[in-house]
Structure 1
Amino acid sequence: MDNKRFILALALSFAVFVGWQMLFPQPAPKSNAPVQEQAVQQAQGEAPAPINPLAGENGEQGTPSPQDFVPTAGKDIHVETPLFRATFNTSGGVLERFVLRNYHEGIEAGSKQVDLIGAKSVSKGPLGVIIRRRGSENHTWLNGKWAYEGAEQISIGEGEKHVLVFKGRAAGFELERRLTIHSDSYLITEALTMVNLEERGTEAGVAFTAAAKSMTAEDNQYNPTRIAWLVNDGRSEEDDRETLQEEGVSAAGGLKWGAIESNYFIMSIVPNNPDASLFASVQNGIFRMAVDQSDTFQPGMSKTLETSYYLGPADRGLLASMPNDLDQAVNFGWFDPLAKPMLMALVFFNQYVNNYGMAIIILTIIIKVIFWPLSQKSYKSMDKMKQLQPMIQKLREKYGDDKQRLNQETMALYKTYKVNPASGCLPMLVQIPVFFGLYKALLGAIELRHAPFIEYLPGTDIVWLADLSAKDPLYITPIIMGATMFLQQKMTPSTGDPTQQKIMMFMPLVFTFLFLQFPAGLVVYWLMNNVLSIGQQWLITSKSSKKKAA
């Protein structure tokens, strides 16, 4: 195998890998199961109308029987815990704000804390309830009557919990929503008790909803806001906004959770019903999601439906303690089995150096040490190939027009000097999955969000690598990275034809341009890896020169 061609193929593969992800994100499979189920239900008679968050907010209000129920005007209930500040509206118990106290939008002093909801999302009913029966769809926060008794300012101290109780009437049901909030968790659990106030039994669909503003810029290729879900067949996601706006996504078949998420934050619904289904879409820039389940309600009988909501950081440690395998919301694709252990190592090193930039450098050194013998073998093979270049060039001049004869003579030359051209490539093949795993990990780790490395350019007050999840604002690291890559190319034996050599010398420029927009943490890793590779390559070349001199 021609080493130069392999390196060129590897470089181009990386460029294609990144470019393809940016331009053509893999579409998630869409389930038609909910539509099929609804068709069967409608054929049988009374059936809930399908939930479609793209539809209007209209719905029929059921006629409640006269009982002791006094609705109150909607007002805000403010809840504060050590982790977040939340504002609920008593009209349906919808969530108007959910502010994460430990996370800010930017690194600037006075930057706002992250609000997962956003003002424009409130009308879409985040944490609302939709009831479907006999072809009508009732958005209870709009068409129901609600009452609330309790304090309007609630502070939950460490180790405590509080239960918000919202009582209402909608779609012929008496409703009681009990939302339990814990001081030390981002998980909110709900018990919804429903009583059928009509004189006959009925089948009804009940959907718990979520709505959130886009968590990232629409053109953010490395960190898109997306819809993700987990069913019995596995995890899926969709981040193409055009698809979400025009078609939406649906899923059924053992739905464990659905989520609106970015690399760093997540708003999820975790049903306590294996028959629940999901529908999600984007409407006017707002991400919407409904997790629906159907049940039969006899007259005067009450039933309690349970679900949970997680609103908070995409922290793997926190998600691991959540129900229904919610930790799978953080997923690095094919390289997930490699990415997560390396992130664990990164967190471990940071505990001692208290700087994720240094932790990245330490991890890079350790990976380099682990693969040192393989790299050593590869570089030695390249050095042997370099020594044969004059003879290979003569063969090209002699048999340039006869490719078959040229290949035969070249292989005979390798055999005579006991050089295996593939020995320089195979060690590098083993390292490729590790590299891409670390690439995916550094691209999506919440630990690197707003984590500083070198906050100010040395000797100045100019902000530099103050956020490893953002690009280098001065473009210093990607330019140095490109220079080290160019130096590597100069040190690597030139085994290809002149055209290949020109393409290879052009690759550092391509990669520099590509890395200008990469998160600084990833550029630091690649730069450090290049420096170590140059050092290793220099050592081998130096030893080889000494042997020749002797």
Structure 2
Amino acid sequence: MQETSSSTKNLALAIVLCLAVLFGWSFFAEYMGWVAKPDPQVAAQQQAEAERARQEKAEAEKARTSVPLTVFAPVPGRDITISTPLYEAVIHSGGGVVRSFRLKHYSATIQPDSPLVDLVDATTAESAPLGLVIDGAASWSLGQWAVESEPQGPLSAGQSAVLRLVGEVNGLRVVRELQFSADSYLIKEKTSLTPLGDQTRSARVAYTVASDASNAGGGQYDAMRIAWYLDNSLGQESDAEDLTKGVTASGNVSWAGPMSTYFLSAILPGDTSNVTVKGLLRGGVYRVAVEEQDIQLTPGNTAELEASYWFGPKKRKLLMEVSDSLAGSVELGMFSIIAKGLLWLLEFFHQYVNNWGLAIILLTVLIKAVFWPLTAKSYASMEKMKKLQPMMMNIREKYKDNKEMMNKEVMALYKTYGVNPASGCIPILVQLPVFFGLYQALLTAIELRHATFVEFLPFTDKIWLADLSGKDPFYITPIIMGLTMFLQQRMSPPPTDPTQQKVMMFLPLIFTVLFLGFPSGLVLYWLVNNILSIAQQGLMHRKNRRLDADS
């Protein structure tokens, strides 16, 4: 019992000594000079700063949870004009939709008093192009908006400006920043979304564009359609019945929008993955919405989205500056590599002659010169075939009741005189990719739209080839083209088969009727090519006559 009491006293003494060392050491160290005494003023200052930091943190936390945004004061919507060297756009501040978008370098017709091309006219404006749809709600009609900043005056070359709109839509604070550039038809947008409540929620955003058919020439060469670029491939629909029902596409979408052969109104989503495109034709207006996947919004936090818009011509050089996929809106077909090269040559010639018609002629001459040896070989083969015609007719007459024997004798004749009946076709087959590439290049090149070759019919005041993208109004060039084709056919040996002879006889007429509606730039190419072919055939005939005379 005594031993237990002694242990208890020792434990108590040890605790007292530990406390004395713990709390008395600092005073003893200061007394001995081992540590510096704290400055009362510094200590007070540090304490004040700590208290101030605590208060600021508490106020920031309070502001984040209770007053996350500045006071919003909506105002009535008004029209804001954005003027650049390329276009003049009218944007309505009540949501940022486009009222008008006029292209300063493109006229609607070739008439001197023609208005400018307007990609968004009064009819189209009702469909709210450049509109923002949030959770299926039209932000321009259901939301309240105000203007925070806007461009001041027209933009000069090299300048850009931002239109900043603030609104409240469907329980969200929405900020739209639209950036306009003086040197591009591309409009960039940054959208900010902040929830007004204190609950985490999701939101789905869609962007819209629209256009009517007023900027399409109509017909098979310039039809209005809805197009999209999905998984590096161009998709489109022009059938009015299908578009009235609606079309959709989902996946990796680079852009989507209504377009004609020469103009495009497109949305370029910032996040191209998992995008849904919805297209519809209603009331003569082609509407497109690009919908992105849902985003999660938490109280006090702002989500930012990006997108771009193209309202302008389908000029490959300008489109390429944005992206290869946007340049894909110019349809160059399966021989696109050849078409691009021919377009480059066409632009090269135009730099020197300053006339697209003359540029087409020079390009045709160059193509003819490149293929001259192949064409000469084809003509030489046809000349040999022409000399064999009498013998072949005799064989056909002799074996008219025995087809097998007839073919055997004809093949023997070819072998005896060293003639290959296919040699005349091979050079033509080699040239076909170039022809189809040039066909697509001339058909889709906006440079030929309203491009003049011979403005007035000679000796008259009648407008003639003032638009190489349109047909010849007097059908002069297609008729001459048909005549040259007929003359070229007469200079070539006729087919040995009677049925083929009849078909070939009607071929110039068929081509003439077909070319009546072709763009005059294409007809000009074919006409010049025929004239050059006739000249080459004439030279070959003269050469062959000279060789026959010498022999």
Gap change, CA 1:549 and 1:218, over 3 Å in 2:
closer
Q: Distance in 2 between matches of 1:387 and 1:117?
A: 65
8 A contact 1:77–1:153 mirrored in 2 = no
Match of 1:127 in 2: 130
Match of 1:76 in 2: 79
Match of 1:494 in 2: 494
8 A contact 1:227–1:261 mirrored in 2 = yes
Identify which range, 332-341 or 485-494, moves more after superposition: 332-341
Tell me the number of residue pairs that the alignment of Structure 1 and Structure 2 aligns: 482
Match of 2:261 in 1: 263
- Any unmatched runs of 5+ in structure 1? 1-63
Match of 1:235 in 2: 234
8 A contact 1:386–1:495 mirrored in 2 = no
Match of 2:193 in 1: 194
Identify which range, 203-212 or 65-74, moves more after superposition: 65-74
Match of 2:404 in 1: 404
The offset of 1:483, in angstroms, is 0.4
Q: Distance in 1 between matches of 2:229 and 2:271?
A: 13
Match of 1:115 in 2: 118
The one-letter amino acid paired with 1:105 is A
Match of 2:270 in 1: 272
Q: Distance in 1 between matches of 2:319 and 2:277?
A: 20
Q: Distance in 2 between matches of 1:156 and 1:239?
A: 36
Whether 1:331 and 2:322 are equivalent positions in the alignment is: no
8 A contact 1:78–1:153 mirrored in 2 = no
Q: Distance in 1 between matches of 2:216 and 2:240?
A: 12
The one-letter amino acid paired with 2:121 is G
Q: Distance in 1 between matches of 2:246 and 2:530?
A: 45
The one-letter amino acid paired with 1:118 is D
Q: Distance in 1 between matches of 2:232 and 2:466?
A: 41
Gap change, CA 1:306 and 1:360, over 3 Å in 2:
same
Q: Which has the higher helix share?
A: 2
* Greater radius of gyration (CA): 2
Q: Distance in 1 between matches of 2:272 and 2:388?
A: 66
Given the two structures, how large is their TM-score scaled by the length of structure 2? 0.85
SS in 1 for 2:340: helix
The one-letter amino acid paired with 1:174 is R
Q: Distance in 2 between matches of 1:444 and 1:66?
A: 50
The offset of 1:167, in angstroms, is 0.9
Match of 1:413 in 2: 413
Identify which range, 210-219 or 290-299, moves more after superposition: 210-219
SS in 1 for 2:508: helix
Whether 1:203 and 2:206 are equivalent positions in the alignment is: no
Please give the per-residue CA displacement for 1:123-147, whole angstroms capped at 9, x wherever unaligned: 2110000011xxxx20111111111
Q: What are the equivalent positions in structure 2 for 1:241-320 lying under 5 Å apart?
A: 241-248=240-247, 250-275=248-273, 276-293=275-292, 294-320=294-320
8 A contact 1:117–1:211 mirrored in 2 = yes
8 A contact 1:230–1:236 mirrored in 2 = yes
The offset of 1:218, in angstroms, is 7.6
Match of 1:184 in 2: 183
Please give the per-residue CA displacement for 1:66-100, whole angstroms capped at 9, x wherever unaligned: 97222111211111111110001111100010000
The offset of 1:232, in angstroms, is 2.4
Q: Distance in 2 between matches of 1:326 and 1:149?
A: 32
SS in 1 for 2:94: coil
Match of 2:373 in 1: 373
The offset of 1:320, in angstroms, is 0.8
The offset of 1:401, in angstroms, is 2.0
The offset of 1:215, in angstroms, is 4.6
8 A contact 1:65–1:198 mirrored in 2 = no
**Which of 98, 101, 106 is residue 95 of structure 1 equivalent to?**
98
The offset of 1:498, in angstroms, is 2.3
SS in 1 for 2:264: strand
Identify which range, 108-117 or 230-239, moves more after superposition: 230-239
Q: Distance in 2 between matches of 1:218 and 1:545?
A: 50
Gap change, CA 1:287 and 1:356, over 3 Å in 2:
same
Given the two structures, how large is their TM-score scaled by the length of structure 1? 0.85
Gap change, CA 1:219 and 1:457, over 3 Å in 2:
closer
Q: Distance in 1 between matches of 2:148 and 2:526?
A: 58
SS in 2 for 1:548: helix
Match of 1:507 in 2: 507
Please give the per-residue CA displacement for 1:138-185, whole angstroms capped at 9, x wherever unaligned: 011111111124569732222221110111111111101000111111
8 A contact 2:151–2:161 mirrored in 1 = no
Q: Distance in 2 between matches of 1:547 and 1:98?
A: 67
The one-letter amino acid paired with 1:278 is V
Q: Distance in 1 between matches of 2:216 and 2:420?
A: 50
Q: Distance in 1 between matches of 2:91 and 2:393?
A: 76
8 A contact 1:177–1:191 mirrored in 2 = yes
8 A contact 1:83–1:102 mirrored in 2 = yes
SS in 1 for 2:228: strand
8 A contact 2:381–2:419 mirrored in 1 = yes
Gap change, CA 1:219 and 1:465, over 3 Å in 2:
closer
Q: Distance in 1 between matches of 2:522 and 2:487?
A: 20
